[in-house]
Structure 1
Amino acid sequence: MERELILQCQRNDRNAQRKVYEKMAGKLYSVCRRYLKNDEDIEEALADTFYKIFTKIDQLHNPDIFEAWARKITVNECLQKLRTAQRLHISLDENNVISSDAGEHVSFEKDILHLLNFLPEGCRAIFNLFAIEGYPHKEIATMLSISEGTSKSQLNFARKKLQELLVNQNV
């Protein structure tokens, strides 16, 4: 993102805000889509994200990290949406998971993101935070108000479930 464009946004320049929205909406929509299933929830989280970005952009002291900052806001908005709706139920039932090697290499964007929709929401959130966003288990545990052990077990559950889905192709 251009440094000058961010500085203009910090001065409440509406044209600059529109340009930032146009450049970032697709990327941030994809982040929302990884966490939320419902299109309405995705759109609401995205709108809340941009509201926060533009109302708090003056707190961003280094315009060079804008994209990472915006992404973090997006993740937090999605997690808040899950929490508020009381839908962040972490499944601890690992008895039905079949562990196997996924022999096929699949396109991440197309297939894995599609498969994430078949995970329980809590597992999907943890998988996204750890495997895609790169958060450590300690930080995930704090963000979701769970233990580190729960974060680790849910990541393991998510991985096994994804492998099962890939091997069985029952999606």
Structure 2
Amino acid sequence: MEKSNVHEQTTSVKDLSNDLFDELKGYIEGLEDKQGSLINILHKAQELFGFLPREVQLFIARELKIPAAQVFGVVSFYSYFTTKPTGKHTISVCMGTACFVKGADKVVAKFQEKLGIDVGETSEDGNFTLRDVRCVGACGLAPVVLVDEKVYGNVTENDVERILAEYE
């Protein structure tokens, strides 16, 4: 059966730090326009918790007095937000046209092989999450790989082990 992220449920976590919820609540209370700040609040929540589990989304909905479906809709629409715990490092391989034509699919396949995961998954050791992204706007460097915020250009399958070694 083929995986689809469209109807994927969010992760549910019972043991989230009350201190983080308190910090998020303080952030929300400090905003002048709470209703117009949903995306900013989600960014802050993801920064604090590392991802946006169901409990965090429900907390935000209650704090803003908006339907939970509105929060879930925004989280599922924007690819930046994640409902699953991510690894210590996020590897994003550009799959835009220029990168794909220059072999980004082979680069992704090599990362999958070396990490033992599929796109959208996190390695067993919790060190890496592998993502594919549509375009990073660096077509002249195609194919492009980002590890966290660091950009690697003209990446080939042969570069994958060296890139991973920098973060292990």
TM-score (norm 1): 0.28
More strand by share: 2
TM-score (norm 2): 0.28
More helix by share: 1
